[in-house]
Amino acid sequence: MPYAHITGWGKCIPPTSISNDEISKIVDTTDEWITSRTGIKSRRVSHVSTAELATVAAKHAIACAGIDAKDIDLVILATCTPSTMVANTASLVQKNIGAVGAAAMDTNAACSGFLYALQAATAQIQAGMIKKAVVIAAERMTWYVNWSRRDSAVLFGDGAGAVVLEAADTPAGLLATKTGCDSTDRDILHIENFGSDLNKYQPIGPSNLLFEGREIFKRAVKGMSEACDDVLAQANLSLDDINVLVPHQANLRIIQAIQHRLKVPDEKVMVNIGQYGNTSAATIAIALCEAVEQGLIKPHSNIMSAAFGAGLTWAASYIKWGERVTPISVSDAQLPPCDKTGLELVAPAVKACKEAEPT
């Protein structure tokens, strides 16, 4: 059975941000309130579509792997903020990167999406169906935000990350994984006013991203920790064998609770939520790239990753890194310039959300 090595990695970070002090001009909050409860100091706001974010991240990953996009067999895009529903957004990314003829599909498991997609692509390589895949996680979460609601307005940001998988004979890549969903309580984290269940012939108004924070905190820590235990058992590893923990970046308190429960020291944990906020499926993909760039991931590192998202989906994965931690080549792909500040980008949405609020 072949393995699916990670041979390329790349990210796309929008150039424009909104700091906590700036967001306090939109909703009743302060930097101290946000930082103490979430660990977030700033979040990025995209001036382009999800497809464009995904395209740039994929091009960087492909260059890093040193392969020709025409040789890619599969493009998977993990997202809950697709540019278009029909046709799927992955097909546009496939076109943009030049992966001629490759299968293309979107997958939506919310914040768990990247690990779900990584599992799906790895399984196809292991089954011998394909040899090369690009797995992308891209989100434009600020598109969903109701800027009149403090609890969600401060949390989310935009961005994308990607990896290239290639078939190989030696053990590396995704070696153990556990995914699942506790759908009995899916209503504690959901978005209203979106999807084919709504009556499109009535005024729709801003989408509302609703969640029960305390309940999600408890379930996220429990679900992600137990999934990690399951994966360690599958791989016949102990916590001491793990070199790096790359958790979903939703809330610093959740990360610290999982870290404490798994007894992982600070120097082994990748944390970047402070500058990006929660980018849903993209958080782990971006964090994985930055863990390599910062030298946290070294050749042959044992990596544990875990996520929890709307659905309520959850996932944990054990990834064995390969030999290489430097790019074979570098892409010049980048987003077009943005001539607006973060506050200017969201100003029309803020105005619409405020006007839609009951008086």
Could you tell me the CA-to-CA distances from 93 to 108, 111, 128, 134, 140 in Å, in that order?
16, 20, 24, 10, 15
* Amino acid at residue number 198: L
Q: Which residues are catalytic?
A: 111, 248, 278
Peptide bond preceding 198: is omega within 30 degrees of 0, i.e. cis?
no
